[in-house]
Amino acid sequence: MSILFHSVRLDAEKCQGCTNCIKRCPTEAIRVRNKKAYIISDRCIDCGECIRVCPHHAKYAVSEHFNELVKYRYRIALPAPALYGQFNNLENVDYVLTGLKKMGFDDVVEVSKGAEILSSATREMFESGELKKPVISSACPAVVRLIRTRFPNLLGNLLPTCAPIDLAAKIAREKARKETDYSDEEIGVFFITPCPAKRTAISNPLCHENYGISGAIAIKDIYPVLVQTMDKLKTDEIENINDSGIIGVGWASSGGEAAGLLKERYLAADGIENVINVLEELENEKLNDLDFIELNCCTGGCVGGVLTVENPYVAKARLQRLRKFMPVSCNRLDDYFTIDDLGWTKELTASPAMKLADNVITAMRMMSRLREIESSLPGLDCGICGAPSCRALADDIVRGYAQETDCVLHNIQVGGKDDWLPAPFRMKVQNEESGDKNDS
């Protein structure tokens, strides 16, 4: 198995081996063995579900610490629009953006700017008719990874563009090159991220090279300092930085990207289970009448990212209020780029992580054994063996990662009709008891 960068990690010391996480993983990437969890690197899509569900905080997301900024002479923040939804009574986004500058950033470029450019580009691509419908948004990196792992049939439907954050980074670097004398290495570009999936996409972009993003700081990490800084800001200190509107900021919650396309035939689903259901339907060609499908792994969209602080619904309500005072959009594709600048440069291929073997015959033999083993297992999906289901254990066994004896019920023979019950609960005893009752 190749070792890929993943933001989502396990702190083995904190892990209690409780198995709470294994069933929630959408790609069955977690196993518990010898009382500790581990993540199968090839399968993990960095969705963060296991971070949400672990009661012992043993799963965590790697992101950059604020201290990283000292490594660079010139620092640029790229705030995700989800950040704007984290503050109570915020009326003007410039408070947040000025706050970031006061905290130590030399410049701030909104990711919502990149989002508006991408909305405008996608509208153009739709018009030119080159897209395979229904087009699936590629903005959520966890969705892209989910598709290449579990729904490779749908790879051709993904919108073949980079993400808003990539465009924001390009703009930020270009601007810094013009306005400063610093070399590229001296300039640090940091995404303020709502989720681990986007952090992973920076180190391990699947469809293009990294557009100069140095790292990502979690919203939850920057939040306490940012709030304090914002509180101290005087009205006359507020800079005029905000340069994106309703469409760009709308990308923070589910349905925002789709709304920016100004099309009627779209669907927006959020939350990993809903996303999987939609992908199943799509695979069965049940949604062919749609133009666009927006999918976000987190409930509510990016405002529901596991690295945010506020409840996604509260954040969404706040964004709605903020957007009221904004123009519809401030950025168009032609202001910055051409379509070719934002396309994919690498082919996105299916992940082989779920395949049993490269050779079909070998895979078939393994599958036959897998089925046989599965039918000999109790079918309880109890998780005590450390695999999320009996089928997953059978899968592990044929791959050589586990043994039949890992099942605690392996070889427990059930003798008579109800011998498996503790003595007081067996039929015989019950009949006698009820007989007793009738007598008295």
Binding stretches for ligand SF4 (CB under 6 A): 8, 10, 15-21, 24-27, 29-30, 32, 37, 39, 44-50, 54, 56, 58-59
Q: In angstroms, rounded to a whole number, what is the distance separating the alpha carbons of residues 47 and 276?
A: 13
Instruction: Give whichever of 56 and 369 is closer to another protein, judged by the CB atom.
Output: 369
Q: How far is the CB of 365 from another protein (least distance, A)?
A: 6
- Residues in contact with 210: Cβ distance below 8 Å, sequence separation at least 6, in sequence order: 202, 203
Q: How far is the CB of 382 from ligand SF4 (least distance, A)?
A: 14
Strand arrangement of the beta sheet that strand 215-218 belongs to = 107-108, 74-79, 187-193, 215-218
The partner in contact with residue 46, picked from ligand SF4, another protein, none with C-beta cut-offs of 5 to 8 angstroms by kind, is ligand SF4
Instruction: Give whichever of 23 and 426 is closer to ligand SF4, judged by the CB atom.
Output: 23
Instruction: Give whichever of 148 and 173 is closer to ligand SF4, judged by the CB atom.
Output: 148
β-strands 292-296, 266-270: how paired? parallel
The partner in contact with residue 284, picked from another protein, ligand SF4, none with C-beta cut-offs of 5 to 8 angstroms by kind, is another protein
Of 174, 165, 224, residue with least CA distance to 200: 165
Q: How far is the CB of 395 from ligand SF4 (least distance, A)?
A: 16
The partner in contact with residue 365, picked from another protein, ligand SF4, none with C-beta cut-offs of 5 to 8 angstroms by kind, is another protein
Q: How far is the CB of 29 from another protein (least distance, A)?
A: 15
Instruction: Give whichever of 29 and 261 is closer to ligand SF4, judged by the CB atom.
Output: 29
The partner in contact with residue 259, picked from another protein, ligand SF4, none with C-beta cut-offs of 5 to 8 angstroms by kind, is none
Per CB under 8 A, residues contacting another protein are: 150, 152-153, 280, 283-285, 350, 352, 354-358, 360-361, 363-365, 367-368, 371, 395
Q: In angstroms, rounded to a whole number, what is the distance separating the alpha carbons of residues 222 and 103?
A: 9
The partner in contact with residue 356, picked from another protein, ligand SF4, none with C-beta cut-offs of 5 to 8 angstroms by kind, is another protein
Contact 298, 306 (CB under 8 A): yes
Q: In angstroms, rounded to a whole number, what is the distance separating the alpha carbons of residues 426 and 259?
A: 62
Which residue is listed with tokens 């905290």? 103
Instruction: Give whichever of 58 and 147 is closer to another protein, judged by the CB atom.
Output: 147
- In b/e form, how buried is each residue of 243-268, taking b as 16+ CB within 10 angstroms? bbbbbbbbbbbbbbbbbbbeeeebbb
381 class by beta-carbon count within 10 Å (0-12 exposed, 13-18 middle, 19+ buried): middle
Q: How far is the CB of 3 from another protein (least distance, A)?
A: 23
Q: In angstroms, rounded to a whole number, what is the distance separating the alpha carbons of residues 327 and 329?
A: 6
For residue 388, cis peptide bond before it (omega within 30 degrees of 0): no
Q: How far is the CB of 367 from ligand SF4 (least distance, A)?
A: 23
Instruction: Give whichever of 59 and 113 is closer to ligand SF4, judged by the CB atom.
Output: 59
Q: How far is the CB of 370 from another protein (least distance, A)?
A: 8
CA distances 27 to 73, 198, 218, 289, 342, Å, are 41, 18, 24, 28, 29
Instruction: Give whichever of 287 and 314 is closer to another protein, judged by the CB atom.
Output: 287
